């Protein structure tokens, strides 16, 4: 199958030439009302101006530029501007809270050094706390508000499908973030899969997104891919959604949105937090695709959302469960359009002992597990299930999900060892996820590294975590299960949960969790750790970090984690930041004042 491979800056030119002045990107302010609109023509002009400003700073085509820009339009213009002139942007999340600045700085420092970025562009406010990251590697450090803009529009760089478009760092949920190099060919192929094959986009479609731009679902799914079909998109700020999720539904109503995606937790948040008084005037009848991915999908959460907003025009058939990963640009499988989501209920004993997903009937009296159907791979892409010996397995056999195709990366940035462990000699990308295929459709079971193995049987931590979700006092979605044990010893199962309950109620919570897991999964929990809200570590995209939680448990560092770095630590961070910025200014001044060699 032939896939388009037109570099994205050229696709933006095409969109500007095709689209009328009413089609483009709308950025909604935090108040949920104030909007800034860029037609695709205007967007192309502003992008060319940003690109010229970045080159004026001394950055060279092919160099990496780290970007930490919270403001939506500022980020999009700068990101596309860098791509326009052949720079390679490296999107990064901004610090979420000052209380956990230390964790953020560790990750940011890793990404900047690993990507060998020559430049750092961030908002002026963020720059004040990031000066400690500045070292001699970064030749250019600038606030996005201070870019040297004028009316000059840079020409598009001479790009091909093989040129790197940007570097997307993985979320780091199971290991240190890795730099996925995505080429313009990767991007064009996956954008075609998303917009044309999966969503079957029409001229009437409008995207409505709150997803972060530093995460692949928000960046590729709603900023980059829609350019190839000049699909209008309205964006709201991620924190505004977390604080007031009803704003997303009002934005969909106002813009007659047809496409919106979110992880499982987003639909649960809307169903549980939005009150009737927040829904005056809401009409979701235009919403034809409600995508769900990026984390384990629970059918009951989607059903609660559908039931909650049925009176407001939402249809359960709009749901589209999907599976994706950064190493395959974004999307790997999409559920069929217009079909209600469904789950496969299988025998837990067969799953854990024989690694086979045996379907069960309603009258089955043994323990079961349920997995939501994530759909089929796109045409021109291959998906298989591989056993431990490397052979491809048949229907309903559980193994590692492996994929091939034009959306798949060539490798991680300057990391041949990790690339070699991830892409095998036959070209299969090993996803690190366990799953199975039934009738050509994918069911994802969980991460291989996070499996709980007790007495030779495999258990999925999500099964334990979901069993605990309804226990009074436990914060839904803030539960992590894992196992620990020295070599030769029986593995011990640990469940960690966050709770807003009074500490006097912790003993009851521990007993309820142990009883619930035993009755639901048939597994004895050795210890339950009850923590204050904000204690469990998460990635920049909001995913819980099981491996880090396990290490913190072993190090005795979980208790008190919610307190973050403390006031003294914050003052130290800020002092280091200002010192780092001062050193950079002195170094830049000295370099620019030296006479050039003749």
- In this predicted structure, the answer to whether residue 147 has a pLDDT above a threshold of 70 is yes
- In this predicted structure, the answer to whether residue 74 has a pLDDT above a threshold of 50 is yes
What band does 589 get if pLDDT is binned at 50, 70 and 90?
very low
> CATH code at 522?
3.30.300.30
Per-residue burial over 203-219, b = 16 or more CB atoms within 10 Å of its CB, e = otherwise: eebbbbbbbbbbbbbbb
Of the given ranges (100-104, 127-131, 150-154), which has the lowest mean pLDDT? 100-104
Residues 118-132, mean pLDDT to the nearest whole number? 82
Of the given ranges (58-67, 170-179, 215-224, 345-354), which has the lowest mean pLDDT? 170-179
Strand partners, 119: 65, 140
The Cα-based distances of 516 to 116, 467, 468, 471, 472 in angstroms read 48, 7, 7, 8, 12
The pTM score is 0.86
Number of C-beta neighbours around residue 487 at 10 A:
4
- DSSP helix/strand/coil, 580: helix
Higher pLDDT, 95 or 526: 526
Q: How far apart are CA 48 and CA 78, in angstroms?
A: 10
Task: Report pLDDT for 561.
Answer: 52
Residues 44-54, mean pLDDT to the nearest whole number? 97
> CATH code at 57?
3.40.50.12780
Burial of 506 (0-12, 13-18, 19+ CB in 10 A): middle
Helix (H) or strand (E) holding 308: helix 299-308
- In this predicted structure, the answer to whether residue 112 has a pLDDT above a threshold of 60 is yes
Residue 289 domain-assigned (yes or no): no
168 and 214 fall within a common domain: yes
**Over the stretch 152-175, which tens digit does the pLDDT of each residue have?**
999 999 999 999 999 999 876 556
Residue 162 domain-assigned (yes or no): yes
Residues 275-295, mean pLDDT to the nearest whole number? 95
Residues 279-287, mean pLDDT to the nearest whole number? 97
Q: Give the residue among 369, 357, 377 at the shortest CA–CA distance from 442.
A: 377
Task: Report pLDDT for 429.
Answer: 97
- In this predicted structure, the answer to whether residue 596 has a pLDDT above a threshold of 60 is no
396 and 360 fall within a common domain: yes
**Over the stretch 193-208, which tens digit does the pLDDT of each residue have?**
999 999 999 999 999 9
What band does 594 get if pLDDT is binned at 50, 70 and 90?
very low
Residue 283 domain-assigned (yes or no): no
500 and 533 fall within a common domain: yes
Residues 382-387, mean pLDDT to the nearest whole number? 97
Last residue of a domain, one of 416, 448, 480: 448
596 and 551 fall within a common domain: no
- In this predicted structure, the answer to whether residue 108 has a pLDDT above a threshold of 90 is no
Instruction: Give the pair of three-digit tokens for residue 565.
Output: 């770095």
37 and 135 fall within a common domain: yes
Residue 281 domain-assigned (yes or no): no
63 and 113 fall within a common domain: yes
Angle at 215 between CA 7 and CA 233, to 5 degrees: 65
State how beta strands 376-377 and 331-334 pair. antiparallel
**Over the stretch 417-473, which tens digit does the pLDDT of each residue have?**
999 999 999 999 999 999 999 999 999 998 888 888 887 778 888 888 888 888 999
Residue 277 domain-assigned (yes or no): no
In the numeric block, the tokens 């291959």 are attached to 382
Last residue of a domain, one of 428, 448, 468: 448
What band does 582 get if pLDDT is binned at 50, 70 and 90?
low
> CATH code at 366?
2.30.38.10
What band does 598 get if pLDDT is binned at 50, 70 and 90?
very low
**Over the stretch 477-497, which tens digit does the pLDDT of each residue have?**
889 998 887 544 568 899 999
Residue 246 domain-assigned (yes or no): no
367 and 422 fall within a common domain: yes
Task: Report pLDDT for 104.
Answer: 75
398 and 483 fall within a common domain: no
Task: Report pLDDT for 573.
Answer: 46
Helix (H) or strand (E) holding 164: strand 164-169
95 and 217 fall within a common domain: yes
The range of the structural domain enclosing residue 512 comes to 452-563
444 and 481 fall within a common domain: no
457 and 444 fall within a common domain: no
Residue 291 domain-assigned (yes or no): no
Last residue of a domain, one of 386, 413, 448: 448
Residue 335 domain-assigned (yes or no): no
Task: Report pLDDT for 98.
Answer: 54
Number of C-beta neighbours around residue 342 at 10 A:
14
Higher pLDDT, 71 or 326: 326
52 and 123 fall within a common domain: yes
- In the chain, the largest separation of any two C-alpha atoms, in whole Å, equals 87
**Over the stretch 237-268, which tens digit does the pLDDT of each residue have?**
999 999 999 999 999 999 999 999 999 989 99
Task: Give the total number of structural domains in the chain.
Answer: 3
- Report the percent of the chain where pLDDT is more than 70: 89
Task: Report pLDDT for 570.
Answer: 45
């Amino acid at each position: 199958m032939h896939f388009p491979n037109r570099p994205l800056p050229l696709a933006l030119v095409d969109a500007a030439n095709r689209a009328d002045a009413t089609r483009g990107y709308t950025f909604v302010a935090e108040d949920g009302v104030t909007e800034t609109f860029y037609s695709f023509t205007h967007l192309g002009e502003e992008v060319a101006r940003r690109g010229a400003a970045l080159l004026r700073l001394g950055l060279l085509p092919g160099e990496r530029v780290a970007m930490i820009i919270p403001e939506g339009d500022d980020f999009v213009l700068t990101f596309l501007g860098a791509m326009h002139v052949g720079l390679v942007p490296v999107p990064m999340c901004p610090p979420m809270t000052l209380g956990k600045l230390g964790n953020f700085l560790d990750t940011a420092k890793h990404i900047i050094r690993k990507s060998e970025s020559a430049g750092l562009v961030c908002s002026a406010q963020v720059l004040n706390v990031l000066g400690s990251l500045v070292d001699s590697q970064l030749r250019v450090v600038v606030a996005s508000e201070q870019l040297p803009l004028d009316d000059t529009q840079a020409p598009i760089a001479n790009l091909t499908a093989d040129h790197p478009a940007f570097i997307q760092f993985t979320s780091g949920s199971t290991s240190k973030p890795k730099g996925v190099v995505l080429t313009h060919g990767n991007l064009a192929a996956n954008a075609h899969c998303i917009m044309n094959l999966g969503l079957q986009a029409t001229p009437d479609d409008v995207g409505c997104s709150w997803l972060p731009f530093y995460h692949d679902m928000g960046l590729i799914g709603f900023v980059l891919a829609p350019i190839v079909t000049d699909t209008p998109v309205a964006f709201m700020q991620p924190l505004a959604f977390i604080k007031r999720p009803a704003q997303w539904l009002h934005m969909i109503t106002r813009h007659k949105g047809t496409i919106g995606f979110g992880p499982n937790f987003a639909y649960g948040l809307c169903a549980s937090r939005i009150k009737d008084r927040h829904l005056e005037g809401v009409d979701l009848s235009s919403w034809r695709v409600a995508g769900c991915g990026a984390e384990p999908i629970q059918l009951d959460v989607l059903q609660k959302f559908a039931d909650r907003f049925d009176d407001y025009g939402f249809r359960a058939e709009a749901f589209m469960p999907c599976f994706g990963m950064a190493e395959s640009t974004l999307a790997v499988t999409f559920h069929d359009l217009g079909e209600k989501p469904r789950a496969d209920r299988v025998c837990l004993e067969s799953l854990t002992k024989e690694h086979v997903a045996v379907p069960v009937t309603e009258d089955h009296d043994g323990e079961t597990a349920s997995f939501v159907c994530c759909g089929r791979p796109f045409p021109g892409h291959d998906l298989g299930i591989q056993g431990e010996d490397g052979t491809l397995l048949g229907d309903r056999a559980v193994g590692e999900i492996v994929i091939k195709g034009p959306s798949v990366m060539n490798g991680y940035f300057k990391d041949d060892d990790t690339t070699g462990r991830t892409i095998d000699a036959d070209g299969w990308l090993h996803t690190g996820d366990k799953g199975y295929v039934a009738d050509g459709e994918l069911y994802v079971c969980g991460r291989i590294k996070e499996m709980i193995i007790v007495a030779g049987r495999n258990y999925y931590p999500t099964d334990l975590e979901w069993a605990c979700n309804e226990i009074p006092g436990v914060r839904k979605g803030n539960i992590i299960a894992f196992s620990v044990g020295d070599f030769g010893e029986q593995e011990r199962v640990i469940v960690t949960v966050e709770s807003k309950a009074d500490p006097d109620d912790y003993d009851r919570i521990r007993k309820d969790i142990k009883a619930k897991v035993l009755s639901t999964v048939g597994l004895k929990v050795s210890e339950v750790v009850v923590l204050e809200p904000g204690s469990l570590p998460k990635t920049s995209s909001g995913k819980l970090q099981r491996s880090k939680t396990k290490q913190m448990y072993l190090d005795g560092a979980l208790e008190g984690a919610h307190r973050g770095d403390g006031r003294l630590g914050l003052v130290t961070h800020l002092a280091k930041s200002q010192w780092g910025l001062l050193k950079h200014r002195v170094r830049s001044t000295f370099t620019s004042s030296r006479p050039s060699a003749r």
